[in-house]
């Protein structure tokens, strides 16, 4: 495997995992207002997976799709809860 592609309809998720996470790590997962980052455990878990993939030479890419094109993934995720 050379690359893993995370498909999402969320701009926020992409920015969390490609931009904000580094500042949150430095600040102990506190946001700019000093409050705990929402869903910090989930962010840490996904970030650890990304680091493991990248540590093994597997690139992690994000693919932004329209919400209407992501309904199957949303439906699957809801069934898993």
- What CATH number should be reported for the domain holding residue 61? 3.30.420.10
Number of structural domains the chain divides into: 1
Q: pLDDT tens-digit profile of 34-60?
A: 999 999 999 999 999 999 999 999 999
Please compute the mean of the pLDDT values over residues 53-71 and round it to a whole number: 93
Percent of the chain topping pLDDT 70: 100
Q: State yes or no: pLDDT of 69 exceeds 90.
A: no
| Residue 29 structural domain | 3-80
Predicted structure pTM score: 0.78
What's the CA gap between 24 and 43, in Å, rounded?
Answer: 10
Q: What is the average pLDDT across 9-33?
A: 94
Q: What residue spans of the chain are helical by DSSP H?
A: 11-15, 21-26, 40-55, 71-80
Q: 40: exposed, middle or buried (C-beta count within 10 Å: 0-12, 13-18, 19+)?
A: middle
């Amino acid at each position: 495997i050379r690359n893993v592609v995370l498909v999402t309809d969320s701009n926020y998720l992409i920015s969390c995992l490609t931009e904000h996470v580094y500042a949150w790590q430095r600040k102990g997962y506190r946001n700019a207002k000093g409050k705990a980052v929402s869903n910090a455990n989930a962010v840490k878990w996904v970030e650890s997976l990304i680091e493991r993939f990248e540590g093994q030479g597997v690139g992690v890419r994000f693919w932004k799709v329209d919400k209407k094109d992501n309904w199957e993934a949303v439906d699957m995720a809801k069934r898993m809860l």
